Amino acid sequence: MDPTCLSESIYNLIPRDLEPSQPPRYTSVFKAAIKSDMKTSKASMKTMGPAKVEVPSPKGFLKKRSKEKVLPPKKKFDWNEPRKPPVPLRTDHPVMGIQSGKNFINTNAADVIMGVAKKPKPVYVDKRTGDKHDLETSGLLPKYIHKKDYGVTPEYISKRNEDLKKAQEEYDHYIQENLQKAAMKMLTDEERDAVLQGLKKNWEEVHKEFQSLSVFTDSLPKKVRKQKLEEAMKQLEHDIGIIEKHRMIYIANKK
C-alpha cells in the first residue's frame, strides 16, 4: 500500500482561512529594573513566616514518663505528733459560743407587734402584660418642687440684679448732674399732657385743612400746598409718638 494514501482526507479538500499572525506581546522596558528593585527592597519578614526558623535540637526528643507528675517524697509517720480532740459523747452538752439569757422569741414577737408596717415600693405598670418599673427613678414624681431651694432666686441672679440696680442709680445720678449743669428742666405730667394735647389739636387742624384741598392738583401751588400739609402732619405724628413713648422729657431753659 502506498503510504501517501493514508494522508488523504476529505477535510484536506475544504479550503481553510489563513489565521492572522498575532503581533508580539508588549513588554515594558522597565520590567528588568522593577524586578531588581523589588528584590533589593523586599523585607525579610514579608513572607509566609520568618526568614530563619530555629531548628529544634535533636537531643530534645520526648522521653518516656517525662510528663508524669512527680510525687513528694514519703515521710515517716510520727506517733508523737499532736492529735485533734475526740468527738464528744451523746451525753455531753458542750457550751457553744456566748450564752445569753435573752428570750429571743418574745423579743422578736414584740418587735413585730410594735413595729411599723413596711410600705410597698411604689411602682408603675406601662404594659398590659404587667411589667413593673420603679416609680421613684421614672421622673413621674414631682421631686424637684419639694427641694429646699426650690423657688429661691439663685445667688448669681440676685448679685446681677443688684449690680444692674446700682448701675442704673449711678446712671440716673450722672444724668441729673448733667441736666443740672446744662440747666435742663423736666416737664411735669401736667405740662407733658398739655403739650401732647396741643400737638394732637394741631394735627387735627392740619388734617382738616388737608381734607379741604381739591381733588385735582393740576397746578403747581396746589401741589406745593399739599406737600407742605403732608410734611406738617408727618412731623406732628413723629412728635406725638416721641412724647407718648417717653415718660420723662427734659427741655432746655431759654436765657
pLDDT in tens, 57-88: 888 888 888 888 888 898 888 888 788 888 88
Examine residue 197 and state whether it is found in any structural domain, yes or no.
yes
Residues 36 and 28: their CA atoms lie apart, in Å, by 14
Average pLDDT over residues 243-249: 83
Cell numbers found for residue 193: 399732657
Adjacent-strand bridge partners of 12: none
DSSP assignment, residue 185?
Answer: E
Place of cell 529544634: 56
pLDDT above 90 covers a percentage of the chain that reads 14
Examine residue 52 and state whether it is found in any structural domain, yes or no.
no
* Model confidence at 48: pLDDT above 70: no
- According to the model, what pLDDT value does residue 108 have? 92
Cell numbers found for residue 80: 508523737
Q: Is 30 helix (H, G, I), strand (E, B) or coil?
A: coil
The whole domain housing 192 covers 185-255
Tens-digit pLDDT profile for residues 132-169: 899 888 888 888 888 888 888 889 999 999 999 999 99
The residue type at 85: P
**Structural domains in the chain (count):** 1
Adjacent-strand bridge partners of 132: 125
Q: What H or E segment, with its residue span, contains residue 37? A: helix 31-41
Number of C-beta neighbours around residue 236 at 10 A? 19
Residues 172 and 170: their CA atoms lie apart, in Å, by 5
Give this prediction's pTM: 0.30
Average pLDDT over residues 109-138: 88
Examine residue 132 and state whether it is found in any structural domain, yes or no.
no
